Amino acid sequence: MGKKIAACLMAVLLLCSSISALAVAPQTTSQSACVMDADTGEILYEKDAYTQLPMASITKTMTALVAMENSDLQGSTTATDEAMATVDPASTRIGFEAGETLTLDELMYCMLVYSANDAANILAAAIGGTVDNFVAMMNAKAAELGCTHTHFMNPNGLDTDGHYTCAHDMAIITRAANQYPAFAKYAGAVNYTLPADNVIGEGWQIHTKVNALEQGNAVYDARIYAGKTGWTTKAHNTFVACAKTKDGSNVIVTLLNCPVKSGIFTETTALLDYAENCYPKLTVSTDQLKKQAKKAVKKAGYTLDEAKLQDVALRLPTGMTDKDLSYRCETTDSGVQMQISVAKDSRKAYQEETGLDGSAPLRTVLLPVVAESKADKQEQEVQTQTETPEKQGVLASVHQKLSGLPRLAQDAIIGASIVVCAIVLMFVILFVIRMHNLRKKRNRKNK
């Protein structure tokens, strides 16, 4: 009997230790890392995520984003010497020649599958007019997305002063790029056959540098459906990955300054495991949101449109519930927003689990509201004007009856009415005082 009890206790201890082990974020050799739920923007893991570092060819994620937003990728362009002048001949290139006619679609494949630097420059010149103009577009887009630790000097990622990013910003950029289905088409392709053109008589096949996309590879991860690697002598190995987890969520992993190439894949897999196993989805119901939102919306001069209010999905570490959340509303130019954060009393436990301090909002939700319309205000004014004299008061009634007279005559009559009312009131007061004094005299006589 004692042995059975001991065995049961040992099993419980092992189970508890395995559960606690799941809650511990994996150790990474990458200097900087970030894991983001791409569907909500919620950060699930960070390691030194705001340190500015060179980014190498994951730069091409932003190049692709700007290209997808500003061009018809089925259009064509002609390669020029000017576009390729700043590309190091020793770096990764296709070897395009001046005068070669290419579609933007072909250039996107070459840039994201093979990481061709000449393809990135030709694409940039085609869309921006010049490479420098395109780089300005990249920096403008970074600012628009809210990236505060990113600056681009070229569209390819070759080392140069002033060209840097951080893991958090790269997650934001990758999330924006991934909203275009074309990004997964290009960044998720394992092979691509470059067709013949006006200069090259025969095409050839290029192969991905993202080993995690290749079935049969030791670092293959079926969850990863798009990715971009990078490497330079200053940046070392960098990586951005888009993955679909077992609960159907889109998750982004970004890594900077990893010492070995295989590490960017194995560490991405470990971080995806962590996100899946330790961050279950939590739904905040509309009933919970109503309680927090109604007062804030009313204070801002609106009415909450309850019919349009929707449940909010977010992620919390295993063991934490909606009781560990706090809510804050504020009025912005875009409307009334609700920020859902980790409650102060729960932040210590949250930080122990995640390494994040919990002060940043997990989700920011724009609340559906109904503003008081001008028509409503006008209707209220009409109702006020058509109220009975008893409800409006004596002065309002007099003013309504005299509305046909000139303004000066109206003011004179109203002024006289006020004086008469004041005199009548004075006589009433004097009468009350007189009656009070007579009553006091009578009381004295009776005594």
Long-range CB contact pairs, 200-209, < 8 A, 24+: 200/100, 206/94, 206/109, 206/110, 206/113, 206/114, 206/116, 207/113, 207/114, 208/113, 208/114, 209/113, 209/114, 209/115
Which position has the token pair 């999330």? 175
Question: Within 10 Å of residue 396's Cβ, how many Cβ atoms?
Answer: 14
Per-residue model confidence (pLDDT) at position 287: 87
What are the residues facing 238 on neighbouring strands? 230
Helix, strand or coil, per DSSP, at residue 357: coil
Per-residue model confidence (pLDDT) at position 398: 46
| Residue 43 contacts residue 34 (beta carbons within 8 Å) | yes
Of the candidates 131, 168, 141, the one whose C-alpha atom is nearest the C-alpha of residue 68 is: 141
Q: Is 347 exposed, middle or buried (0-12, 13-18, 19+ CB in 10 A)?
A: middle
Per-residue model confidence (pLDDT) at position 16: 41
Question: Within 10 Å of residue 253's Cβ, how many Cβ atoms?
Answer: 29
Of the candidates 394, 392, 294, 282, the one whose C-alpha atom is nearest the C-alpha of residue 346 is: 282
Q: Which two tokens stand for residue 253?
A: 């992993």
Per-residue model confidence (pLDDT) at position 203: 79
Q: How far apart are CA 363 and CA 235, in angstroms?
A: 32
Per-residue model confidence (pLDDT) at position 62: 98
Distance set, CA 11 to CA 19, 186, 340 (Å): 12, 48, 38
Q: How far apart are CA 374 and CA 215, in angstroms?
A: 62
Q: ∠ CA(116), CA(118), CA(124), 5° rounding?
A: 110
C-alpha atoms less than 13 angstroms from C-alpha of 375 in its C-beta half-sphere: 0
Q: How far apart are CA 277 and CA 12, in angstroms?
A: 19
| Residue 61 contacts residue 280 (beta carbons within 8 Å) | no
pTM score: 0.76
Distance set, CA 393 to CA 381, 382, 384, 420, 428 (Å): 16, 17, 12, 16, 20
Q: Average pLDDT for consecutive 10-residue bins of the chain (447 residues)?
A: 43 38 75 96 95 98 98 95 93 94 97 98 97 98 98 98 98 98 98 90 89 97 98 98 94 98 97 93 88 78 87 90 89 85 93 86 88 50 50 48 52 70 80 78 64
Q: How far apart are CA 228 and CA 61, in angstroms?
A: 7
Helix (H) or strand (E) holding 250: strand 250-258
Q: What are phi and psi of 91, to 5 degrees?
A: -85, 175
Q: How far apart are CA 231 and CA 224, in angstroms?
A: 20
Of the candidates 127, 114, 111, the one whose C-alpha atom is nearest the C-alpha of residue 77 is: 127
